[in-house]
C-alpha cells in the first residue's frame, strides 16, 4: 500500500491547538516543516491525542460519564501514530474498549480528509447523530461532516418522473408515487429514510431509485438536482465522510464511468467493523443474476420503445423473447437464458444509435449477458453457484479468496487504512483474518505469510471483568446436533434457561429451520413475551420491542449475531444453539476449503473452524456491553467436549467461569 499522500495534514484542529492552515504553505516540505515545528513546541500528534484522554483532558471535562480507560488511550495513541507515520493498522479492540472514541478523537483533531466506513447502519447512525457531535463539542472542533449512503437510499427524481408519467403504472402505485413527489419538493437531501414508510416493502422502491446500471449519469436531465450527485458533492467538500463498506467496495470495483468513483480520495480511511469486509468483498467483487435484474431491463426497454412510438414490431419481438427468458429461468437453465438473452442483446444493439437511452440499454443488456457468461464459466479463482430455485433463484459468482482481490482493488487506493473490530483474531492470532483481508501483520504470528508485511497489528483486551460479570453454561449432556432427541433436549434447555433468567434473553439460532421449529415452542412454553425473527416484525421493530420490554425473549438467526448493542438488564442471557459452522452445501466455503487443501492446508481447521469461531465470538459479544452488565452465555453444543476442535472453540470464549450445571445458572441469576 502506498504511504499517506498528505502527511502534512496532521497538524491539529481545535481551539488552542490549531496552528496553521495548509493553504498558507507553498509546498509539501514547508508543510512538513510547520508540522515538525508544531510537534517540537507541543509534542507529537500522538502525545497530544493522548492528553485528550487523560482525567484532566477535554473529554473528561465535557463528556458526562467519561472514564479514562488504559486500552482506549493506547488504541487512540496507536491510531494517531499510524496517521502520523503513514503506515496501515489492524486493531482488535474487544467489547468495552471504546474504539469509536479512540478513532474519532484523532480523526477530528487532524486536518486530514477522513473516511469512516462501517458495516451496519446502526453504527453509521450512532456516529452521525451521537458520537461525532458529542466529540466535536468536547474538543471544541468544528469539521465539515457528510453522510454518504448507497444509491438505493436516495431518490432518483428521473425515474420517479418517468414512472409517474407511465400510463401502465397501476393507480394504487401512482398514488404512492405522488406522495413521494410531494415529499420531493420538501426534502433537502432526498434520503428515503425521511419518508414515513419503507419504499421497498411498498413495492415502489425500484420505481424511485436507480441502480448503477439504470442511472444516466452526467447525461441525466435532472443531474443538477439529483440527491446522489448532491450527496457526492457534499462528500467532496467534507472533512469527514461517514459511509459504509458496501459503498467503498462498490467504488473500488467501479473505477470508471460517470458514477464510477462515488467516493473522493481520502488521506485516512477508518474501517470499523472490519471483520465484515471479506464477506462483503465476495459479494462486491463477484456477479449476481436474479430474475428482477432481467425484468427491470425488460421494463425499461419496453418503456423506451413506447416512447419511440415507431418500434411496435421490435417491442413485440422483445416481449416474446423475454417470455422465453422467464420460462428458461424458471427451469433453472441459465445456459438457455443466456442463449435467448444474446438474441435480445443483438436486437438492442441494432437500435443503439437511436438515442442515449437506447445506447445505455444496449450496454446494460450486454453487461447482463457478460455476467451470465462469467457465472456459467467462472474465471480462474472464482466459484459460481445457485441459491434457491425457479423464478426466486439467484445465480452467483464470487472470488474464492478475498485477500488477492482486496490487494488488487482496495488497498492500492491512496491514503492510510485503519481497520478495527472487536473480533479480528482467532486463538490470539491475526493470521486468518489477515489472509482474508490480504494484509500481513508484523507481529510474527503469520509465519507462513507469503506476502510482504504491510499492516501493523495490535490487540486490546476488554476492560470487563468477565470473572465476576459473566458465566458460561456449556452442558455436556445435550446430545450432539445430529443425534436423536437433540431438538427436544435443546428446547428443554432453552426453556429452563429462560425461566432462570426471567426472560431477558437472546436465543441465537444457526439455521432458519431450527428457528422456525423451536422458537414457536418456546413462545408457547415460557411465561415471557417471545419475539421471533420474520414473524414478530422487522428486525429493527423487534429489537426496539426487546429493549423496551425488559423481560422479553428474542429468537433470531445470523443477523442478530453481530451489530446489536443492548446494554443493561434487558439482555442478561445469550443462548447459542450450536457452533455456527456454515451449512455443508455452502458452495463458496467448499471452494475455499478446496483451495486451502490444494496449498497443503487443512480445509476444516484452517477455514471452516476459524470462520465458526469468529461468528461465535461475535454472538457471545452481545452479552456484556458495559461495566455494569451481568449475564450468562449458554452454548448448547456438547461437541465442545467430544470433538478435538472443542478446545479451540473454548479458548476463544470470553474468560468467564464455566459450568455444566443448570443449578449454577439459577444461583447466578438469583444473586442479581
Ligand atoms: S443522475 Fe441517475 S440517479 Fe440521479 S436523477 Fe439522474 S438517473 Fe436518477
pLDDT class for 32, splitting at 50, 70, 90? very low
Expressed in angstroms and rounded, the spacing between residue 55 Cα and the centre of ligand 1 is 50
pLDDT class for 25, splitting at 50, 70, 90? very low
Question: Is the beta carbon of 155 within 6 A of some atom in ligand 1?
Answer: no
Expressed in angstroms and rounded, the spacing between residue 229 Cα and the centre of ligand 1 is 8
- The mean per-residue pLDDT over the stretch 143-157 comes to 94
pLDDT class for 312, splitting at 50, 70, 90? confident
Q: What is the model's pLDDT at position 36? A: 46
Who's near 528: CB < 8 A, 6+ residues apart? 498, 502, 503, 504, 551, 552, 553
Is the predicted pLDDT of residue 652 greater than 70, yes or no?
yes
Question: Is the beta carbon of 337 within 6 A of some atom in ligand 1?
Answer: no
- The mean per-residue pLDDT over the stretch 663-670 comes to 96
For a pLDDT cut of 70, what percent of the chain falls above it?
A: 91
The ligand 1 atom at the shortest distance from the C-alpha of residue 223 is 1
User: Which of residues 8 and 548 earns the better pLDDT score?
Assistant: 548
Question: Is the beta carbon of 215 within 6 A of some atom in ligand 1?
Answer: yes
Instruction: Take atom 6 of ligand 1 and give the residue whose Cα is closest.
Output: 220
- H or E segment to which residue 12 belongs: none
Q: What is the model's pLDDT at position 473? A: 98
3-class SS at 385? strand
Of 150, 208, 229, which is best to mutate to test ligand 1, by the most ligand atoms within 8 angstroms of its C-beta? Answer: 229
Q: What is the model's pLDDT at position 628? A: 92
3-class SS at 441? strand
Instruction: Take atom 2 of ligand 1 and give the residue whose Cα is closest.
Output: 215
pLDDT class for 261, splitting at 50, 70, 90? low
Question: Is the beta carbon of 210 within 6 A of some atom in ligand 1?
Answer: yes
- The mean per-residue pLDDT over the stretch 274-288 comes to 94
Q: What is the model's pLDDT at position 442? A: 55
pLDDT digits (tens, 9 = 90+) for 478-537: 999 989 999 999 999 999 999 999 999 999 999 999 999 999 999 999 999 999 998 988
Question: Is the beta carbon of 208 within 6 A of some atom in ligand 1?
Answer: no
Residues forming a β-bridge with 575: 507, 634
Question: In terms of Cα–Cα distance, which of 258, 347, 259, 341 is closest to 304?
Answer: 347
3-class SS at 604? helix
Question: Is the beta carbon of 157 within 6 A of some atom in ligand 1?
Answer: yes
> Considering the chain, what is the average pLDDT of its residues?
89
The ligand 1 atom at the shortest distance from the C-alpha of residue 258 is 1
The ligand 1 atom at the shortest distance from the C-alpha of residue 158 is 5
Going by the DSSP 8-state scheme, the letter that residue 11 receives in this structure is S
Q: What is the model's pLDDT at position 21? A: 39
- The mean per-residue pLDDT over the stretch 54-81 comes to 95
- The mean per-residue pLDDT over the stretch 284-288 comes to 94
- Of the listed ranges 28-32, 97-101, 267-271, 404-408, the least confidently predicted one is 28-32
Instruction: Take atom 4 of ligand 1 and give the residue whose Cα is closest.
Output: 226
Instruction: Take atom 8 of ligand 1 and give the residue whose Cα is closest.
Output: 156
Expressed in angstroms and rounded, the spacing between residue 109 Cα and the centre of ligand 1 is 36
Largest CA distance in the chain: 81
pLDDT digits (tens, 9 = 90+) for 564-614: 889 899 999 999 999 999 988 899 999 999 999 999 999 999 999 999 999
Is the predicted pLDDT of residue 222 greater than 70, yes or no?
yes
Is the predicted pLDDT of residue 3 greater than 50, yes or no?
no
- The mean per-residue pLDDT over the stretch 539-546 comes to 90
- The mean per-residue pLDDT over the stretch 205-218 comes to 90
Residues forming a β-bridge with 532: 555
Instruction: Take atom 7 of ligand 1 and give the residue whose Cα is closest.
Output: 215
Expressed in angstroms and rounded, the spacing between residue 152 Cα and the centre of ligand 1 is 11
Amino acid at each position: 500500500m502506498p504511504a499517506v499522500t498528505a502527511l502534512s495534514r496532521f497538524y491539529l484542529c481545535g481551539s488552542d491547538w490549531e496552528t496553521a492552515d495548509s493553504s498558507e504553505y507553498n509546498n509539501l516540505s514547508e508543510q512538513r516543516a510547520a508540522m515538525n515545528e508544531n510537534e517540537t513546541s507541543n509534542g507529537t500528534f500522538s502525545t497530544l491525542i493522548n492528553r485528550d484522554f487523560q482525567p484532566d483532558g477535554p473529554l473528561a471535562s465535557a463528556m458526562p460519564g467519561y472514564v479514562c480507560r488504559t486500552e482506549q488511550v493506547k488504541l487512540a495513541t496507536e491510531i494517531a501514530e499510524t496517521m502520523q507515520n503513514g503506515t496501515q493498522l489492524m486493531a482488535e479492540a474487544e467489547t468495552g474498549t471504546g474504539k469509536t472514541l479512540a478513532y474519532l478523537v484523532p480523526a477530528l483533531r487532524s486536518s486530514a480528509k477522513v473516511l469512516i466506513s462501517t458495516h451496519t447502519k446502526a453504527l453509521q447512525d450512532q456516529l452521525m447523530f451521537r458520537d461525532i457531535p458529542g466529540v466535536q463539542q468536547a474538543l471544541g472542533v468544528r469539521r465539515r461532516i457528510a453522510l454518504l449512503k448507497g444509491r438505493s437510499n436516495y431518490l432518483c427524481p428521473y425515474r420517479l418522473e418517468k414512472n409517474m408519467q407511465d400510463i401502465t403504472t397501476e393507480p394504487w402505485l401512482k398514488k404512492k408515487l405522488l406522495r413521494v413527489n410531494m415529499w420531493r419538493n420538501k426534502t433537502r437531501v432526498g434520503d428515503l429514510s425521511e419518508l414515513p414508510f419503507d419504499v421497498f416493502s411498498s413495492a415502489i422502491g425500484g420505481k424511485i431509485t436507480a441502480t448503477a446500471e439504470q442511472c444516466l449519469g452526467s447525461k441525466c436531465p435532472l443531474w443538477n438536482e439529483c440527491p446522489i450527485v448532491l450527496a457526492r458533492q457534499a462528500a467532496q467538500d467534507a472533512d469527514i465522510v461517514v459511509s459504509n463498506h458496501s459503498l467503498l467496495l462498490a467504488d473500488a470495483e467501479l473505477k470508471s464511468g460517470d458514477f464510477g468513483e462515488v467516493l473522493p480520495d481520502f488521506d485516512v480511511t477508518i474501517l470499523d467493523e472490519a471483520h465484515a469486509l471479506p464477506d462483503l468483498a465476495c459479494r462486491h467483487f463477484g456477479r449476481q443474476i436474479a430474475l428482477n435484474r432481467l425484468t427491470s431491463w425488460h421494463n425499461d426497454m419496453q418503456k423506451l420503445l413506447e416512447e419511440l412510438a415507431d418500434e411496435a414490431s421490435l417491442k413485440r419481438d422483445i416481449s416474446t423473447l423475454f417470455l422465453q427468458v422467464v420460462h428458461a429461468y424458471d427451469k433453472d437453465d441459465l445456459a438457455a437464458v443466456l442463449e435467448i438473452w444474446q438474441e435480445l442483446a443483438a436486437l438492442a444493439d441494432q437500435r443503439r444509435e437511436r438515442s442515449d437511452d437506447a445506447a445505455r440499454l444496449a450496454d446494460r443488456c450486454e453487461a447482463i449477458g457478460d455476467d451470465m457468461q462469467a457465472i456459467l464459466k467462472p474465471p480462474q479463482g472464482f466459484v459460481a453457484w445457485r441459491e434457491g430455485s425457479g423464478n426466486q433463484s439467484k445465480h452467483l459468482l464470487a472470488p474464492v479468496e478475498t485477500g488477492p482481490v482486496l490487494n488488487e482493488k482496495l488497498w492500492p487506493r491512496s491514503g492510510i487504512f485503519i481497520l478495527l473490530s472487536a473480533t479480528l483474531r482467532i486463538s490470539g492470532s491475526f493470521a486468518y483474518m489477515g489472509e482474508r483481508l490480504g494484509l500481513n501483520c508484523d507481529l510474527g504470528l503469520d509465519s507462513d505469510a507469503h506476502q510482504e508485511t504491510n499492516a501493523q497489528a495490535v490487540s486490546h483486551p476488554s476492560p470487563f471483568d468477565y470473572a465476576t460479570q459473566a458465566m458460561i453454561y456449556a452442558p455436556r449432556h445435550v446430545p450432539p446436533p445430529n443425534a436423536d432427541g437433540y431438538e427436544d433436549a435443546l428446547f428443554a434447555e432453552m426453556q429452563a434457561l429462560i425461566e432462570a433468567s426471567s426472560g431477558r434473553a437472546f436465543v441465537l439460532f444457526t439455521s432458519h429451520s431450527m428457528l422456525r421449529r423451536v422458537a414457536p415452542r418456546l413462545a408457547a412454553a415460557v411465561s415471557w413475551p417471545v419475539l421471533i425473527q420474520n414473524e414478530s416484525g422487522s428486525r429493527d421493530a423487534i429489537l426496539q420491542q426487546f429493549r423496551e420490554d425488559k423481560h422479553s425473549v428474542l429468537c433470531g438467526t445470523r443477523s442478530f449475531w453481530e451489530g446489536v448493542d443492548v446494554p443493561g438488564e434487558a439482555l442478561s442471557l445469550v443462548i447459542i444453539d450450536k457452533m455456527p459452522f456454515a451449512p455443508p452445501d455452502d458452495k463458496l466455503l467448499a471452494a475455499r476449503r478446496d483451495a486451502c487443501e490444494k496449498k497443503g492446508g487443512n480445509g476444516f481447521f484452517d477455514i471452516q473452524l476459524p470462520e465458526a469461531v469468529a461468528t461465535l465470538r461475535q454472538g457471545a459479544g452481545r452479552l456484556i456491553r458495559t461495566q455494569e452488565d451481568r449475564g450468562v452465555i449458554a452454548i448448547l453444543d456438547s461437541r465442545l467436549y467430544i470433538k478435538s476442535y472443542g478446545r479451540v472453540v473454548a479458548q476463544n470464549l470470553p474468560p468467564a467461569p464455566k459450568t455444566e450445571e443448570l443449578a449454577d445458572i439459577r444461583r447466578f441469576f438469583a444473586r442479581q
